[in-house]
Amino acid sequence: MKRIFNIGALLLAVAGATVTSSCSDKFIEDKKNYTNTSTEIYDYYSGADGRVNEIYRISLPNIQAGGGQIWQYNSVGRKDNHSQATEEYYGFSTFLDPNADMNTVTGKSQGPGYFNSSWARIREINEVIHGINGGKLSQEEKDVLLGQVYFFRAWCYYMMFRYYGSVPIVTEVQNPVPEATTPRSSAKEVYDFIIKELNTAADLLKKKTIEGKWDSGEWGRVTTGTCLALKHRVMVLWASPLFNRDNDESRWKDAYETIKTELPIIDACGYGLAYEDNPGVNGKGWANMFLDIVDNPEGVFVSCYNTKTPDLTPDYQRNNTWEQSIRPANALGNNGQTPSDVIVDLFPMLDGKRPNSYNNYTVLDASSKYNYDARYPFMNRDPRFYRTFSFPGEYWRFDGDPNTGNSFNPYIGKDYILWNYVWYNDPAKYNDPTSSDHFGADNLLGSVHGMYIRKFSDDLDVRNGVKNYNFNTAGKNVGFRECKTMTMEIRYAEVLLNYAEAACGAGDLTTAVEQLKRIRKRAGLGSGNDGMYGIDTKALGQKEACMAQILYERQIEFAYEGKRFEDMRRWLLFDGGTGFASIGAKALTGWGGNTCTWLGFTPYGDATKNVRNDQIEFRLRDDLNYTDGTSGRTWTGDVTADQATKDNTNPDPLLKANMGKLTRAERDAFAVDINEKVVTTPLATQLENLKTFYSTYLVRKTLKGDSYDSATGSVPVYNKWNARYYFWGLTQGEQINNPTLPQTVGWEDYHKGGSMGTYDPLAETSTAAE
């Protein structure tokens, strides 16, 4: 019996132990998810930093995102719907297409769907902020990380703010349930939120980026200076006519005072106007400024790239494809990018004045001493012209050999001259703008463009042989694909021009002009007799002249940097702001009720003003009576032959080998070198020489850029803007997803049977569901 009790006691003891140990579900809480990492990552700097890096990845402007609809990304100056809505590119953007009005209805010509695509990023950012705050890092570490993330939250909200004016503000990670709605905050609330976030971010990063500095391997991370520079951009935006319809001067003053105070802080972060004291020959310093990477004082907010090869595991590749996209086909580039005729014709002359033929910013004097002749657009231009465009007869060197024994490409990289004049094989098409049945010289043949965009190009001799790309002659990364040139969303020039604009708006025109002078001096423009660097002296006394000068300067300085569309929207340059009343939005009362009139600018989207963009090309003159080349577009020789033999099979009718006028060497002697030869032969002399070549052999032809009337195909049609495009509406899908959000004024409201929305983002109160 005793034994039984012993065993019974033992059993009870075991049972008791089991019960006490089992009653708690603590052991369940101890279970971990090993398949994935958990929020514990925020307890470690490497983990939290990995999350912050993700925020960089998804938020940074990315040039690879390129082309077409780029609603998800900031414009970086490629041929996208934003840039196509400006003077920079031809081809109707959906914003200007007279054939199809942009709307919110699913199907044809639907407007931007930027709204829906932003929130995943904001969710990530909110999650990181929440995670870092809940993690176990030291406050100092948290500050550095949070500072960067707050910056990007502000950046994301700024992106929506500028397009939608008023958006919901979400700062929490919400459960994905239908009830998780957030109303639209007023534009003022969103503005205040962004400013607050950027101040917070700037503060958090102070210790790291003013007292200290990111390592060179961390170059590209945001700093206090980045935060402040973005804040200044946002403040100027808030003061701009788009938001400041009554021209409330306090907004300008606010921006002016803030920038004035904070400019030294930005400088303290290591930023400044690159090459300001070393502009070099013909804008060489300015060109070089785009190519430096680490510690480039110009790069206030940048995206970095590398030269790595793709398709490896892990895939570390992130190339800047711009160099590849702008280089001509016979340099193994990706065919190049074509500027519109309008922007070529509007660049300032060598003395910094606008060309006399350019009838915009007419508040400025058209007093250039150089007469602009459209037949020779390269004559006597602002040095930035030669660094922004390439035209037939211009050296454009690089390090590499595209003539690898298996092609008819004529030059090795260090001798590369762009000869992109064209000929037609049918005289009927010589003057037909709709025909692009042309062939380009030097093996460009069918893939020729009349002009090429050259901006940011890594010219061989700009940096004395240092280069940002690996040149490949074959394979997936052919040409300049592997390129690490960084893109700059905010560069120091913008910091100064924001300052100038704020100062101008606030009435300090002298300060405004000072900033313009710094920019122009760095660009290689001469100071002129009056020391004004071509700036109209009226800018010192007349606000509209000063503002026009600033906007014009921005247009030139930032061409192909994705800024122009925003400038045009901010300043209502599509219609001067006259259309707001017609859609029921807050009317423009400042600036005389019409910013275009105020600035002397032709409303870019006014269908009655016949604005459109076409292409320029230089074709062989009719009187050359050429016949060769008509036989076709291809070379027929042996690709491995030496160059002389190749010339015999060159279909170019200008060349002697084809009964033409010149040998290749004779032709090449006309070429202009904006870098090396300038030292021995002044640029002006070289250009005169080239002008002779043009006048003898070439004629400028306008080739259709923007589309023609779709019915006939032969009648040009013109830019057409709708006032509602200034603030984007929610597309049908966005409205379906967010049924409680009111539709922006002027856009179809899906929930109200397609009648127009009435919500004005400039209303000062937030609005929940109506």
Cβ atoms of 657 and 648 within 8 Å: the answer is yes
Residue 249 to residue 120: CA distance in whole angstroms: 36
Residue with Cβ nearer other proteins (206 or 484): 484
Residue 53 in the binding site for other proteins (CB under 8 A): yes
Contact segment (CB under 8 A) with other proteins among 49-57, 418-426, 535-543, 757-765 equals 49-57
Residue with Cβ nearer other proteins (316 or 713): 316
In the window 125-144, what residues touch other proteins (CB under 8 A)?
A: 126-127
Among 36, 608, 680, 765, binds other proteins (CB under 8 A): 36
CB of 527 to other proteins, least distance (A): 35
Contact segment (CB under 8 A) with other proteins among 34-42, 576-584, 611-619, 635-643 equals 34-42
And the tokens for 242?
Answer: 């788009």
Contact segment (CB under 8 A) with other proteins among 44-52, 94-102, 589-597, 710-718 equals 44-52
Residue with tokens 């692009």: 436
In the window 55-84, what residues touch other proteins (CB under 8 A)?
A: 56-57, 60
- DSSP one-letter code for 723: G
The vertex-580 CA angle with 579 and 585, nearest 5°, equals 160
Among 63, 132, 304, 539, binds other proteins (CB under 8 A): 304
Residue with Cβ nearer other proteins (64 or 436): 64
CB of 119 to other proteins, least distance (A): 4
Site string for other proteins, 731-770 (x = CB under 8 A): ---x-xxxxx------------------------------
Residue with Cβ nearer other proteins (53 or 755): 53
Residue 293 in the binding site for other proteins (CB under 8 A): yes
In the window 387-406, what residues touch other proteins (CB under 8 A)?
A: none
Instruction: Give the neighbor-by-neighbor strand order of the sheet with 698-703.
Output: 438-440, 422-424, 615-620, 698-703
562 Cβ contact list (under 8 Å, min separation 6)? 61, 74, 75, 76, 77, 78, 82, 83, 489
The partner residues of 617 in beta bridges, in order of sequence, read 701
In the window 705-734, what residues touch other proteins (CB under 8 A)?
A: 734
CB of 323 to other proteins, least distance (A): 14
Among 38, 278, 537, 643, binds other proteins (CB under 8 A): 38
CA distances from 96 to 328, 590, 710 (A): 29, 25, 15
Residue with Cβ nearer other proteins (224 or 578): 224
- The residue among 459, 458, 337 whose CA lies nearest residue 78 is 337
Residue with Cβ nearer other proteins (293 or 624): 293
The burial class, CB within 10 Å (0-12 / 13-18 / 19+), for 680 is exposed
Contact segment (CB under 8 A) with other proteins among 36-44, 456-464, 632-640, 651-659 equals 36-44
CB of 763 to other proteins, least distance (A): 19
CB of 313 to other proteins, least distance (A): 8
In the window 448-487, what residues touch other proteins (CB under 8 A)?
A: 484
Contact segment (CB under 8 A) with other proteins among 116-124, 132-140, 551-559, 708-716 equals 116-124
Residue with Cβ nearer other proteins (39 or 537): 39
The burial class, CB within 10 Å (0-12 / 13-18 / 19+), for 677 is middle
Contact segment (CB under 8 A) with other proteins among 2-10, 335-343, 640-648, 721-729 equals 2-10
Can you list the alpha helix ranges (DSSP code H) found in 584-634? Answer: 595-599
CB of 767 to other proteins, least distance (A): 14
Residue with Cβ nearer other proteins (173 or 624): 173
CA distances from 2 to 5, 6, 560 (A): 5, 6, 97
**Chain-centroid distance, C-alpha 169:** 26
Residue 107 in the binding site for other proteins (CB under 8 A): no
Residue with Cβ nearer other proteins (159 or 504): 159
In the window 144-183, what residues touch other proteins (CB under 8 A)?
A: 168, 170, 173-178, 180-182
In the window 207-226, what residues touch other proteins (CB under 8 A)?
A: 214-221
Among 94, 116, 171, 407, binds other proteins (CB under 8 A): 116
φ, ψ of residue 74 to 5 degrees: the values are -65, 145
CB of 295 to other proteins, least distance (A): 9
In the window 557-576, what residues touch other proteins (CB under 8 A)?
A: none
Cβ atoms of 455 and 661 within 8 Å: the answer is no
Site string for other proteins, 484-523 (x = CB under 8 A): x---------------------------------------
And the tokens for 97?
Answer: 């297409």
- The residue among 49, 266, 231, 272 whose CA lies nearest residue 148 is 49
**Chain-centroid distance, C-alpha 279:** 24
CB of 406 to other proteins, least distance (A): 25
Among 82, 318, 518, 569, binds other proteins (CB under 8 A): 318
CB of 573 to other proteins, least distance (A): 31
Contact segment (CB under 8 A) with other proteins among 24-32, 189-197, 255-263, 639-647 equals 24-32
Among 28, 665, 679, 715, binds other proteins (CB under 8 A): 28
Among 88, 97, 124, 544, binds other proteins (CB under 8 A): 124
Residue 582 in the binding site for other proteins (CB under 8 A): no
- The residue among 602, 452, 573 whose CA lies nearest residue 85 is 573
CA distances from 105 to 71, 148, 570, 595 (A): 16, 37, 26, 31
User: DSSP strand E in 304-460: where?
Assistant: 389-390, 394-395, 417-418, 422-424, 438-440, 452-453
770 Cβ contact list (under 8 Å, min separation 6)? 742, 759
664 Cβ contact list (under 8 Å, min separation 6)? 410, 647, 650, 655
Residue with Cβ nearer other proteins (138 or 216): 216
Among 70, 85, 102, 122, binds other proteins (CB under 8 A): 122
- 381 three-class SS: strand
Among 317, 435, 436, 472, binds other proteins (CB under 8 A): 317
Contact segment (CB under 8 A) with other proteins among 283-291, 299-307, 344-352, 374-382 equals 299-307
AA letter at 337 = Q
Can you list the alpha helix ranges (DSSP code H) found in 609-747? Answer: 643-648, 664-668, 677-680, 683-697, 732-737
The vertex-339 CA angle with 518 and 76, nearest 5°, equals 65
Residue 65 to residue 75: CA distance in whole angstroms: 9
Residue with Cβ nearer other proteins (632 or 739): 739
And the tokens for 646?
Answer: 């190749």
Contact segment (CB under 8 A) with other proteins among 28-36, 224-232, 338-346, 560-568 equals 28-36
Contact segment (CB under 8 A) with other proteins among 32-40, 407-415, 699-707, 758-766 equals 32-40
Residue with Cβ nearer other proteins (315 or 415): 315
Among 81, 86, 307, 409, binds other proteins (CB under 8 A): 307
Sign of CA dihedral 179, 116, 303, 290: negative
CA-CA-CA-CA torsion for 356, 358, 364, 369, nearest 10 degrees? Answer: -20
Residue with Cβ nearer other proteins (141 or 437): 141
70 Cβ contact list (under 8 Å, min separation 6)? 78, 80, 81, 82
Can you list the alpha helix ranges (DSSP code H) found in 588-719? Answer: 595-599, 643-648, 664-668, 677-680, 683-697
Contact segment (CB under 8 A) with other proteins among 35-43, 204-212, 577-585, 666-674 equals 35-43
